[in-house]
Amino acid sequence: MSVTTLPVVEAAAHDAEKCKIANDMLARVSEKWSMRVVLFLSTQSRRFSDIERGINGISQRMLTRTLRNLERDGLVTRTVTHTRPPRVDYELTEIGFSLKLSLSALGGWVQENEAAVRAARAAFDGRTRS
């Protein structure tokens, strides 16, 4: 029953359940590798090793965990082909793709304000280091 529990959504529709989901989604999206994976899958379906090679510096462990989380949230689908060697393909779902679109909007903000943020940081650091 707290007054301000929800970070993203504002006044409208402010129940506890949605707050939790909103927090979780924001957390998910910022989990260091999630966005890279979503972006990498945004154009086409990819198999595990393709993603691993396509995303620079991700470990096998983290790729697995990231994909599991995205799958759990219904953002990607996992398709296993039982051959030898086995083959697993990952693909963005419809809602996964819509999330990617929303995030691209945030990307727009970054493009417009990146210079200002960098300048602000430099000014702040110069001010406090003295």
Partner DNA sequence: CGGGATCCGGCGCGATACTG
Partner DNA sequence: CAGTATCGCGCCGGATCCCG
4 contacts DNA (rule: CB under 7 A): no
Q: Which range in 35-43, 55-63, 99-107, 119-127 contacts DNA by CB under 7 A?
A: 55-63
Which CB sits closer to DNA, 85 or 126? 85
Alpha-carbon span 83 to 78, nearest angstrom:
15
Contact of residue 121 among its own copies, DNA, none (CB under 5-8 Å per partner type): its own copies
Tell me how far the alpha carbon of residue 73 is from its chain's centroid: 11
From its own copies, DNA, none, which one binds at residue 10 (CB under 5 to 8 Å depending on kind)?
its own copies
Q: What is the CA radius of gyration of the chain?
A: 19
Peptide linkage before 7 cis (omega within 30 of 0): no
The owner of tokens 């983290």 is 62
Look at residue 91 and give the partner it binds from its own copies, DNA, none, a contact being a CB closer than 5 to 8 Å depending on partner kind: none
Contact yes or no for 67/90 (Cβ under 8 A): yes
If one asks whether residue 79 binds DNA (CB under 7 A), the answer comes out as no
Nearest distance in Å: CB 115, DNA: 24
Residue 99 binds: one of its own copies, DNA, none (C-beta under 5 to 8 A by kind): its own copies
Say whether residue 126 binds DNA (CB under 7 A). Answer: no
The three-state secondary structure class of 68 is: helix
Amino acid sitting at position 51: I
Helix (H) or strand (E) holding 67: helix 60-72
Residues at the interface with DNA (CB under 7 A): 31-33, 47-49, 52, 57-62, 64, 67-68, 78, 85-88
